[in-house]
Amino acid sequence: MPQQTGASLYDRIAGEPGVRRVVEIFYDIVEQHPEGRELNILHLCGHGVAHSRIEQSNFLSGFLGGPNLYAQKHGHSSVREVHEHVEINARVRDAWLTCISMALDRAAAIGDTKEAIMAHFRVVTHSLKNVG
């Protein structure tokens, strides 16, 4: 994918279709691959993966610089607030980062775009660790 100077990360991964593609691939990995097993279990204890596919797409849209769909729907986009009921340790955090990295690779968000997205994800996921 060609890099677009000055474009938002949302635009650099092809906007709404790109976000949806990354999220679909991510949750396929969570449901089907060993790397996502612990994340899948956590989702099954909550609203489930189908719900998360929608909400994650809405959240990532705004997080990556596109329309803030999650905040429009829920009145906020606080990732900490959304996950405050989930025990997140380093293992869960790292599993999430591994699965999203795999999804970005499979969605062809490569080069500077993937690294820029991952840099943002690393900051946020490190702030979410709330146990151990």
pLDDT at 1 over 60: no
Domains of the chain by residue range: 13-128
pLDDT at 45: 82
pLDDT by residue (tens digit) across 53-112? 999 999 999 999 999 999 999 988 888 887 777 888 999 999 999 999 999 999 987 778
Pick the CATH number of 13-128 from 1.10.10.10, 1.10.490.10, 3.30.70.1450, 2.130.10.10: 1.10.490.10
Round to whole Å and give the CA distance between 16 and 54. Answer: 12
Round to whole Å and give the CA distance between 91 and 96. Answer: 9
pLDDT at 120 over 80: yes
Axis-axis angle for helices 90-106, 111-128 (nearest 10)? 160
pLDDT by residue (tens digit) across 23-42? 999 999 999 999 999 999 98
